[in-house]
Each structure stands twice: as structure tokens, then as C-alpha cells.
């Protein structure tokens, strides 16, 4: 019997990154989603393509050997698939993990295999698999008497993923255009006697934190900084934004600040981190990705939250007290100015919060910072500036 993976999330990351790499490693992939249109397309079409865009041109991979289930209407079928799967992955967004946890919990509880299910969340968030595991192990989803030996049925491993998926052509259907570069790093320590699943694309490591923070505080910080400044200055794409010398300089200044934290916290050399930063800026500047600033900037509430790309490193640096965070504060300001952007609900919610709360209240609600945090007052001043309408 072949290897089987159940993947939650039939979007571009699910089909174009996780699904692609699992297919290449010989897995049958069962896509699970609640979006009728995605599931219907996957059920109707027996193949789709992933076009990898790199400096040397394009490479097209054909993806086959997959099925699709709508968990909204066929939950019992999803439970059966998980009960006999080797692997469960997801790319649904950190805020959706709590909604997919109940069906995954039922599937885990139904398992009879002597080999535990591998569960790996592929989200842009620190400790996403831990978060998912917490929801699965909640007594609402897994009976208390079944928690004691749940590790015999499932192993949970955190991961860090890095791959840019630009805006897609309007008539692309299931086909995905994606950057050629990728990184998928997974903590191998939870896998003991049974070993980890064989997935060619994954780099298995003993300490995931340096990879997660380096990626989040370099790729995500730089990408979002270019998007928010680009949006503010009327640029169309990330390439256009970074072609502006002032914006490019600001992005480098922000990454200089986060690099200071990464180097000193994780023991990565200055030279290695500088090379990583240069590679990342070159990647996100790729004109062939045609990455629109509004797409990259969407969901500002999440991106301004406590453990995310600006507040996370900014708070840590402010606590250390050995590096200025002026550039990060500028990025935070531009993120707060990303309001009422068509197609992005969070940008409208952000505008509402800024209108209904005073600056300290906004910082507490949106950024999760409080008076005891050394970054708090600086961010309050930024919010006051935005609320006051000052440029």
C-alpha cells in the first residue's frame, strides 16, 4: 500500500508547495477544504501544474495522484482517511487551526495502526503545530481518557516553511505559479522509535527555533516592509517598491535590526546572516513574480500581532537594549496605515479599531504589548501619529 497524506487547505500553498512536494515524494494526497469551488475543481480535474519561477526561467511540474473531500459536507470520509493516513499537513492560516482540529482529533482517535500519524502544520507562524496539537488535545475534541496514550496514535512536529506564492493569473484554475526557491524545515525530535516520514523536500533538524525566527524576521519582515511602504508610496508590485532606492534602503535597515537579534540570539555568524539577507532581498525583488503589494500586505492585524514579523523582533530588541529599532517602528507605522484596502477584511477592521480606541488601547489590542514592555511607548507614539493624520 502506498503512502498517503491528508492535507487541509486546497489553496495555492497547499497545491503549489505542500501538495507538490508530497507528490514528488510518492504520496497520494487527499486535499481537504470547505470551499466548494476548490474541492469541485480538484474532484473534476485529475491533474494540475505547478510552474516554478526562478532566475533561470520556468520549470513546470505536473501533479497527479490526488483526491479531494469537502469536510463541511463529508466529515466522516475525512475521519476515515486520517485513520489510515501516514501524514497530516495543513496550510489554512493560523487562525483556522482551531476549526480543523475537531475532525483531525476524530481521525486520530480512530487509528488502529501501530505507527503513529505524523502531524505537521505548514503555517507562517511560530509553533503552529503546537497550537494545532493544543486544540486537538482539548477535551472538547479528544476524550480525557484518550489523552494519556495519544502519542501512540499521533506525533506532532513543528515546521518552518519559506516559499513565495505571488498573485495568480485570473484564469489559472488549479494551476499554480510559484517561486523556485523553497525551504521546509521540520523538527525531527518528536519522531523516536518509528522515525520521521520520508519527504525529500524536508530538512530535518534537532533545533527548529533558529530557522523559524531567521525566516520570520528576515523573509516575512522584509517582504511585509516592502509591501507596506510600497502601498503607502503608490507602488504596484514588490519589485517596483524595491526598485525605489529609499524603500530598498529602509528594508535593509529593518533587516539590519532583525539581523542583530538573530546573530546574537542564535549564534549565526554576521557573514552568514548578511548573505541570507542579500539572498532574500534578491528573491523578493524578482520581477517575474509580479507580486502585488496589496496581496503581500493583507491581514495587517495578524502581521502586527505580538509574535509576528515586526513586533516580535522589535520587542526582543527593545528588551535587550543594545540596538535601535527605528526602522522597525517605521514599518509598524506603515502597517498601521494599511487601512480599508479592497478585498482585505482585516484592513477595514484595523481602521475601525484605530477609530474606536485610544493609542494605548490599540497597541494592547492589536500588538499584544503592555506598559511593562519596553517597546510599548514607542509603538503608542506611532499609533498616535497615525490617528492624528500626520504623514
Binned at pLDDT 50, 70 and 90, residue 391 comes out as low
Mean pLDDT within 212-240: 96
In contact, 89 and 123? CB cutoff 8 Å: no
Mean pLDDT within 203-224: 94
Q: Per residue, what are the HEC states of the chain?
A: CCEEEEEECCCHHHHHHHHHHHHHCCEEEEEEECCHHHHHHHHHCCCEEEEEEECCEEEEEEECCEEEEECCCCHHHHHHHHHCCCEEEECCCHHHHHHHHHHHHHHHHCCCCCCCEEEEECCCCCCHHHHHHHHHCCCCCCCHHHHCCHHHCEEECCEEEECCCCCCCCCCCCCEEEECCCEEEEECCCCCCCCCCCCCCEEEECCCHHHHHHHHHHHHHHHHHHHHHHHHCCCCEHHHHHHCHHHHHHHHHHHHHHHHHHHHHHCCCHHHHHHHHHHHHHHHCCHHHCCEHHHHHCCHHHHCCCCCCCHHHHHHHHHHCCCCCHHHHHHHHHHHCCCCCCCCHHHHHHHHHHHHCCHHHHHHHHHCCCCCCCCHHHHHHHHHHHHCCCC
Binned at pLDDT 50, 70 and 90, residue 125 comes out as confident
Binned at pLDDT 50, 70 and 90, residue 217 comes out as very high
What is the pLDDT, as a whole number, of residue 1? 63
Can you read off the three cell numbers belonging to residue 266? 542564535
Can you read off the three cell numbers belonging to residue 252? 535593509
Q: How far apart are CA 156 and CA 131, in angstroms?
A: 10
Catalytic residues: 215
Q: What is the pTM of this model?
A: 0.82
What is the pLDDT, as a whole number, of residue 167? 79
User: Using N-to-C axis directions, what is the helix angle for 326-336 and 221-232, rounded to 10°?
Assistant: 60
On average, the pLDDT of the chain sits at 95
Q: Could you give the percent of the chain with pLDDT greater than 70?
A: 99
Count other Cβ atoms within 10 Å, centred on residue 286: 21
Beta pairing partners, 52: 59, 178
Reported as a single tens digit per residue, the pLDDT across 27-77 is: 999 999 999 999 999 999 999 999 998 877 789 999 999 999 999 999 999
Reported as a single tens digit per residue, the pLDDT across 308-350 is: 999 999 999 999 999 999 999 999 999 999 999 999 999 999 9
What is the pLDDT, as a whole number, of residue 359? 98
Mean pLDDT within 108-123: 95
Q: Count Cβ atoms within 10 A of the Cβ of residue 46 and give its class: 0-12 exposed, 13-18 middle, 19 or more buried.
A: exposed
Straight-line distance from the first to the last Cα atom of the chain, in angstroms, rounded to the nearest whole number = 62
Reported as a single tens digit per residue, the pLDDT across 59-72 is: 999 999 999 999 99
Reported as a single tens digit per residue, the pLDDT across 234-257 is: 999 999 999 999 999 999 999 999
The larger pLDDT score, comparing residue 270 to residue 389, is at 270
What is the pLDDT, as a whole number, of residue 73? 97
Reported as a single tens digit per residue, the pLDDT across 128-184 is: 999 999 999 999 999 999 999 999 999 999 999 999 888 788 899 999 999 999 999
Amino acid at each position: 500500500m502506498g503512502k498517503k497524506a491528508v492535507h487541509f487547505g486546497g489553496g495555492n500553498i497547499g497545491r503549489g508547495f505542500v501538495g507538490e512536494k508530497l507528490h514528488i515524494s510518492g504520496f497520494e494526497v487527499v486535499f481537504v477544504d470547505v470551499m466548494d469551488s476548490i474541492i469541485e475543481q480538484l474532484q473534476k480535474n485529475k491533474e494540475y501544474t505547478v510552474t516554478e519561477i526562478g532566475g533561470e526561467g520556468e520549470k513546470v511540474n505536473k501533479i497527479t495522484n490526488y483526491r479531494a473531500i469537502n469536510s463541511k459536507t463529508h466529515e466522516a470520509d475525512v475521519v476515515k482517511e486520517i485513520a489510515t493516513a501516514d501524514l497530516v499537513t495543513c496550510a489554512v492560516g493560523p487562525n483556522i487551526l482551531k476549526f480543523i482540529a475537531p475532525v483531525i482529533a476524530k481521525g486520530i482517535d480512530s487509528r488502529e495502526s501501530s505507527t503513529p500519524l505524523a502531524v505537521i502544520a505548514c503555517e507562517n507562524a511560530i509553533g503552529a503545530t503546537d497550537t494545532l496539537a493544543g486544540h486537538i488535545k482539548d477535551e472538547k475534541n479528544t476524550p480525557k481518557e484518550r489523552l494519556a496514550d495519544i502519542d501512540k496514535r499521533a506525533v506532532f512536529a513543528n515546521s518552518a516553511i519559506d516559499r513565495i506564492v505571488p498573485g495568480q493569473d485570473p484564469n489559472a484554475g488549479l494551476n499554480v505559479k510559484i517561486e523556485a526557491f523553497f525551504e521546509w524545515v521540520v523538527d525531527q525530535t518528536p519522531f523516536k522509535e518509528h522515525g520521521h516520514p520520508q519527504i525529500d523536500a524536508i530538512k530535518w533538524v534537532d533545533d527548529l527555533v533558529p530557522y523559524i525566527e531567521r525566516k520570520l524576521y528576515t523573509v516575512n519582515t522584509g517582504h511585509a516592509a516592502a509591501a507596506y511602504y510600497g502601498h503607502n508610496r503608490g507602488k504596484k508590485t514588490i519589485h517596483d517598491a524595491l526598485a525605489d532606492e529609499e524603500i530598498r534602503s529602509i528594508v535593509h535597515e529593518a533587516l539590519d535590526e532583525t539581523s542583530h537579534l538573530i546573530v546574537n540570539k542564535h549564534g549565526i555568524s554576521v557573514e552568514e546572516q548578511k548573505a541570507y539577507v542579500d539572498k532574500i532581498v534578491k528573491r523578493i525583488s524578482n520581477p517575474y513574480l509580479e507580486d502585488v503589494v496589496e496581496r503581500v500586505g493583507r491581514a495587517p492585524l495578524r502581521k502586527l500581532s505580538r509574535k509576528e514579523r515586526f513586533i516580535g523582533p522589535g520587542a526582543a530588541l527593545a528588551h535587550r537594549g543594545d540596538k535601535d529599532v527605528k526602522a522597525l517602528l517605521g514599518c509598524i507605522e506603515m502597517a498601521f496605515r494599511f487601512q480599508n484596502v479592497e478585498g482585505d477584511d482585516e484592513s477595514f477592521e484595523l481602521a475601525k479599531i484605530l477609530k474606536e480606541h485610544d493609542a494605548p488601547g490599540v497597541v494592547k489590542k492589536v500588538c499584544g504589548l503592555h506598559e511593562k514592555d519596553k517597546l510599548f511607548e514607542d509603538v503608542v507614539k506611532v499609533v498616535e501619529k497615525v490617528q492624528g493624520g500626520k504623514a
